[in-house]
């Protein structure tokens, strides 16, 4: 009929008052792959959850924690530059987060907000599944001394690796070793020659004109090289390592597995890693 009004067909999976909400906060955050990863996981298991990205300006991370509390969010992922601020704003910290002083995940436990750090376990799971190696007894050099380097170094030491920290600013490397302890130590660049696994935990490689994070002529046969950067998927460092016939890995697997650990902390269920990987065009 000419006077009939059209009816808008709504999707069946719209959020409801019962939908549980989780979010990622950062500045910037528009580039984040976390919404794709987590929403794919919720859909794969038929969970009534929704994950969104929230731009929170630098300096307002603690406010976001209070917003999480008042709005009833059930999970929070935390990226730069809020990891330290959120660690100071939650009710309690896991042992790992307390040692590192930074948080990348917040979960709810009996109305309390608990800060966690899943970065290190994310990389460990990525290395074990994608490179098929046991890190116990492994000689590792981590290049860099920022938050990612600390998280990765702590997890590798706790799982039996001997870890050297190389950073151009020696005092920053010393700070990492002071936090991590155990079998970690400050090393010079030449230590890369004797390492079995080299991990670039610096941002060098994100831009096309970035210098190398270390002298690639130090690389030798049978080493493995990991770059925590995942965009671009192959940094100049990884290209140089592959040209030398070395096994390489970028940071997308770390992102995937740290998200999977967050999913487990929030929902109590095992993460559907395959579905999550497919959401970011990754094969596992």
Active site residues: 83
Yes or no: say if 68 and 113 are a contact pair by the CB < 8 Å rule: yes
Q: Which two tokens stand for residue 26?
A: 């950062």
- The alpha carbon torsion through 154, 155, 157, 161 (nearest 10 deg) reads -140
DSSP E strands in the chain: the ranges are 20-26, 49-55, 75-78, 92-93, 105-109, 112-116, 139-143, 162-166, 184-186, 197-200, 224-227, 247-249
| Peptide bond between residue 147 and the one before it cis (omega within 30 degrees of 0) | no
Residue 279 neighbours by CB under 8 Å, 6+ apart: 36, 37, 39, 40
Strand partners, 224: 197, 247
């Amino acid at each position: 009929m000419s006077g009939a009004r059209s009816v808008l067909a709504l999707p069946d999976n719209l959020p409801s008052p019962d939908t549980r909400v989780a979010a990622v906060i950062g500045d910037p955050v528009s580039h984040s792959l976390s919404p794709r990863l987590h929403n794919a996981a919720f859909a794969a298991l038929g969970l009534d959850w929704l994950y969104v990205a929230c731009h929170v300006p630098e300096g307002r991370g603690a406010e976001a924690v209070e917003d999480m509390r008042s709005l009833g969010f059930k999970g929070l992922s935390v990226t730069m530059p809020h990891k330290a601020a959120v660690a100071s704003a939650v009710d309690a910290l896991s042992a790992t987060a307390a040692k590192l002083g930074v948080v990348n995940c917040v979960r709810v436990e009996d109305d309390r907000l608990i800060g966690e750090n899943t970065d290190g376990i994310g990389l460990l799971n990525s290395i074990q599944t994608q490179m098929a190696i046991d890190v116990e007894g492994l000689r590792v050099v981590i290049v860099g001394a920022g938050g990612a380097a600390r998280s990765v170094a702590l997890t590798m030491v706790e799982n039996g690796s001997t870890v050297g920290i190389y950073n151009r600013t020696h005092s920053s490397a010393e700070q990492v070793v002071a936090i991590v302890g155990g079998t970690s130590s400050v090393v010079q660049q030449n230590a890369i020659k004797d390492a079995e696994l080299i991990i670039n935990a610096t941002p060098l490689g994100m831009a096309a004109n970035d210098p190398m994070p270390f002298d690639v002529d130090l690389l030798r046969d049978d080493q493995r090289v990991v770059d925590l950067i995942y965009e671009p998927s192959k940094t100049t460092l990884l290209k140089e390592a592959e040209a030398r016939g070395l096994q390489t890995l970028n940071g997308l697997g770390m992102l995937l597995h740290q998200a999977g650990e967050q999913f487990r902390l929030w929902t109590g269920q095992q993460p559907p890693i395959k579905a999550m990987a497919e959401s970011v065009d990754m094969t596992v």
